[in-house]
Structure formats: C-alpha cells, structure tokens
Amino acid sequence: MKKFWSRSLLICTLGVLLLAGCGGKDSDSADDEKSGLDKLAETAENMANAAEEAGESLNEDREPVPPVSFKVLLGYLPMQIDEMKKENPRGETATMGAWTFSQANADYSGPDDKSATVEIFDYAYIGVMYAPIRMWMKMKINRESTEGYERTTEIAGYPAFEKFEHADQHAEATILVGERFIVTINTRQMPEDMPRQVAENMELQKLAKEKGSPNA
C-alpha cells in the first residue's frame, strides 16, 4: 500500500509539472530544458519522500477499533448554519471485509444560492484512510492565486486544511479531530471563513473523546 501512495503521487506530480513545462518555453534552449528537468526531479523526489514518510507513519498507527455509531455522529452535526436549518441528515455504519467505519452528513440551504454541507467520518484508525491527510500535514501547504487559496492550518486546535475559490465563493475545511475523526465542511456563496466558524461552534473536543462499541 505504501508503494501505491508513493507511485500515484509521483505520477501525478510528474504529469502536472510536465504539462506546466510545455507551455511558453523555447525547446531550442538546452540549458532551460536541463534546468526544468532538474527542478522536476527535485520536486518529484520531495513529493515521493513525503509520501514515503506518510506510509511509514501508517505502520505506527493503532489497530483498528469498533467505530462510533452513525447515530452518535448525527448528534454532532450543527442544527443550523447562519440561520440555515439542518436538512436531510443521513448516516451509516458499514463493514467492508475486516474494516468497519461510520459516517454522517447533512445539508443546509438558504436564499441567494447559499448552501453548506457538513460530513463526519469515523475511520476508526484504519491506517490507509488517513494517508492523504498525513501527507498534507507533513508537507505544510500554502498556495494562493487569483482563483483562490489552499493551506494547511489549525482549526479549534486540530490540524486542518482550508480551501477557497473566488468563482462561487466556495470554501472548504477538512479537520482531523483527535487523530481519528475527519470533519469536512463545504460552503458556497458565504464568507470564506464560514467553515472555520462552523467548526469552532461544533463540539469537536467532545467528539474527540467518543469511543465505539462492537455493536455500533
């Protein structure tokens, strides 16, 4: 599995960098080409190392445990967001082979195309499910452009990843709570810090202490 993550990330990185390098460059310049290839190799190596470290961290993870029931997770979804009431709450606890996990989510909608979605996942220490999060935690991302930004940060004292797109005021926050629960908040046509506000008003510290049972 560690090889899968490393290989996939390396392939994606090489593809993106090669596409970026194909635009606006003089193919006759051997020096520029060599410089570009050197940078590509260096970036690919850094990304591969990050993936390798993330894979190594999986070996240190705890053994999977029974998940918290989706019925409990539903209780942590906000009753409302900015006067938008909770709609269509749903959840499930499922087993796939030796893995058992739970999830719960709900929608929120308002006037002027305002909307939000909140999701809570309990992967119950199934190591591979946390690999992408561990990777961005190690890489410390901070990127901003005319289209928006994405960055690693902290929300309510927990490691998090924030994204914002100017086009439709789409904001997103993914938070790792108690090294176990993954909370994802998406909002549209709302202030860019709305996901952060929502998370800070949720009982995340209480959620972090929840434990599952074999009969979840």
Are 114 and 27 contained in the same domain? no
Indicate whether 65 belongs to any domain. no
Task: Say whether both 40 and 85 belong to one domain.
Answer: no
CATH of the domain at 80: 3.40.1000
Residues 16 and 91 reside in one and the same domain: no
* One domain, residues 108 and 168: yes
Q: Tell me whether residue 214 is in a domain.
A: no
Q: What is the pLDDT of residue 61?
A: 54
- Cα(60)–Cα(49) distance, rounded to whole angstroms? 17
Coil, strand or helix at 14: helix
Q: Does a structural domain hold residue 201?
A: yes
The residue ranking higher by pLDDT, 49 or 174, is: 174
67: tokens are: 């998940």
Same-domain status, 113 and 25? no
Are residues 121 and 20 part of one domain? Answer: no
Q: Examine residue 213 and state whether it is found in any structural domain, yes or no.
A: no
Is 192 in the same domain as 88? yes
Mean pLDDT of the chain: 80
Q: Is 51 helix (H, G, I), strand (E, B) or coil?
A: helix
Please tell me the distance from the alpha carbon of residue 60 to that of residue 205, in angstroms, as a whole number: 24
For residues 25 and 81, state if they share a domain. Answer: no
Q: Computed over its alpha carbons, how large is the radius of gyration of the chain?
A: 20
Give me the domain span that covers residue 52.
Answer: 2-59
The two three-digit tokens of residue 189, written as one number: 């046509």
Q: Which two tokens stand for residue 40?
A: 């590509």
Taking residues 116-133, what's their average pLDDT? 92
Whether residue 114 lies inside any domain: the answer is: yes
Instruction: For 20-36, write each residue's pLDDT tens digit.
Output: 344 444 445 445 444 54
Residues 37 and 125 placed together within one structural domain of the fold: no
Neighbours of 151 (CB within 10 A): 15
Structure tokens belonging to residue 34: 């060599």
State how many domains the chain has: 2
**189 belongs to a structural domain:** yes
Indicate the residue among 59, 91, 108 that finishes a domain. 59
Q: How far apart are CA 192 and CA 169, in angstroms?
A: 7
Residues in CB range of 4: below 8 A, 6 or more apart: none
Interhelix angle 2-21/131-139, rounded to 10 degrees, is 50
Residue 143 lies in a domain: yes
Are residues 52 and 76 located together in one domain of the fold?
Answer: no
In this prediction, residue 14 carries a pLDDT of 35
Edge-to-edge order in the sheet of strand 84-96: 80-81, 84-96, 99-109, 115-122, 181-188, 170-177, 158-165, 148-155, 142-144
Q: Which of 37, 59, 81 is the C-terminal boundary of a domain?
A: 59
Domain membership of residue 216 (yes or no) is no
51 and 84 both lie in a single domain = no
Q: Exposed, middle or buried: residue 97 (CB in 10 Å: 0-12, 13-18, 19+)?
A: exposed
Q: Average of pLDDT values for 107-129?
A: 94
Q: 102 and 50, same structural domain? A: no
> So what's the pLDDT on residue 122?
97
Q: Give residue 75's pLDDT band: very low, low, confident or very high (50, 70, 90).
A: very high
Predicted TM-score (pTM) of the model is 0.73
Task: Kindly give the interhelix angle for 30-59 and 2-21, rounded to the nearest 10 degrees.
Answer: 160
